[in-house]
Amino acid sequence: MFLARRFYIALVLVILLLGSGYVFAPFFVIGQWSLFVLLLVVLADVYSLYRIRGIRAFRQCADRFSNGDENEVSIRVESSYPHPVSLEIIDEIPFIFQKRDVDFQVKLGANEGKTVTYRLRPTHRGVYSFGHIRVFVTGKIGLVSRRYTCAEPLDIKVYPSYLMLHQYELLAISDNLTELGIKRIRRVGHHTEFEQIKEYVKGDDYRTINWKASARRHELMVNVYQDERSQQIYNVIDKGRVMQQAFGGMTLLDYAINASLVLSYVTMRKEDKAGLVTFDEHFDTFVPASKQSGYMQTLLESLYSQQTTFGETDFSALCVHLNKHVSKRSLLVLYTNFSSIGGMNRQLSYLKQLNRQHRLLVVFFEDADLKEYIAQPAKDTEGYYRHVIAEKFAYEKRLIVSTLKQHGIYSLLTTPENLSIDVINKYLEMKSRQLL
């Protein structure tokens, strides 16, 4: 039982009356009667709250959360009291969120129930532990409140962003992927495998017009050729210390994991095979390329517990083990981060070796905050020096792209928030140009 704020206000008034009795005697008698009445009312309030167990509350949420996305949590609270009550609902969310405002004020009528909803955005993968739901109930009188402890503690696993996969799936079904920024890549050259004949639309290559079918239908018809299938696409994720840098509360590793899942999904929709490789000081995880049903769940489970390390990434071990495990020429999408041209040059020989055996696409990150800082004008001498240093870092990123291109290695410099879209566009572009 907890004494409510209204009780303390009433008690202060009674004390004032009793104190005033030293000046005017009748106030002391009034104060005594007021104290007696207050005690009776408190007993009545306690009885109305404790005569039955009148509150039930339970938490409703998905059995797993999606990292980096808004995940909905609902609390259903039901009252069996025969009179209206006021509730304060406190959900003990995982401490990692560092939120103290998951507190809801709800009024329920007699035998009524309501649902309150809020959202949580995790930024780390792993197990998140919910505690109990605490419900503080105040009756019509409002002098005391009763605490209910509801719902059992709950552990929720936070997986890489699977909600993004659902978004891509729905848009792919409705052919609206351009809403997410995915470009329609015009085909360069022709594949020999015929797929279908369709009506001509603006943007189709006029060289694919089927004149016989057009004459029969009295409208332009074009041949559609399908892309070469069953090519292997491996997402190769660097887990070294360079991937610990954070943007928007998420590390570069988390962005890379989310992008690799989306790319794997699009790859399988294109009838290609998707695989996974992770490495740091040692060669770590290897999932062979496949396009079987249920394969996305295998990737989710493999990526669920991946964490960055503080060591230097060993690209030589990557070359050795890829040569052992991947015999067929494949597209390797390497997610890493080079902060300087010197750091890239130390690994250049290994990148060239990978590119000789496979087609290599190096994906690394542009600092969006640094770019925004450079766009702002300097205001003093110190500011000019800072701008020069910042522009040097930005220039080195562009120099890395140029150096990789000189050695025949494809690269993609992008911001973390645009990573998924840019990687998919690059994959579609390379596929349309028959570069895989």
Q: What is the pLDDT of residue 61?
A: 92
Q: What is the pLDDT of residue 250?
A: 87
Q: What is the pLDDT of residue 172?
A: 42
Q: What is the pLDDT of residue 376?
A: 84
pTM: 0.71
**C-alpha to C-alpha distance for 154 and 130, rounded to whole angstroms:** 5
Closest to 160 measured CA to CA, from 130, 122, 129: 122
Query: Between vectors from CA 63 to CA 62 and to CA 65, what angle results, nearest 5°?
Result: 70
Q: Most distant CA pair in the chain: distance in Å? A: 114
Count of other CB atoms within 10 angstroms of residue 418: 15
Buried b (16+ CB within 10 A) or exposed e, 214-244: beeeeeebbbebebeeebbbbbbbbbbebbe
The domains located in the chain, with CATH, are 1-158 (2.60.40.10), 163-186+227-432 (3.40.50.410), 197-224 (no CATH)
Cβ pair 267, 235 in contact under 8 A: no
Q: Which residues pair with 234 in a beta bridge?
A: 275, 332
Residues lower than pLDDT 50 in the chain? 169-180, 185-192
Q: What is the pLDDT of residue 265?
A: 87
The torsion region of residue 230 among left (phi > 0), alpha (psi -120 to 50) and beta comes to left
Q: What is the pLDDT of residue 165?
A: 64
Cα–chain center distance at 93: 18
Cβ pair 66, 303 in contact under 8 A: no
**C-alpha to C-alpha distance for 357 and 142, rounded to whole angstroms:** 76
Find where tokens 């887990």 sit: 239
Q: What is the pLDDT of residue 420?
A: 86
Both structure tokens of 50: 């404790």
Q: What is the pLDDT of residue 106?
A: 92
Q: What is the pLDDT of residue 63?
A: 87
Q: What is the pLDDT of residue 181?
A: 52
Query: Between vectors from CA 272 to CA 353 and to CA 354, what angle results, nearest 5°?
Result: 5
Closest to 393 measured CA to CA, from 371, 420, 361: 371
Proportion of the chain above pLDDT 90, given as a percent? 38
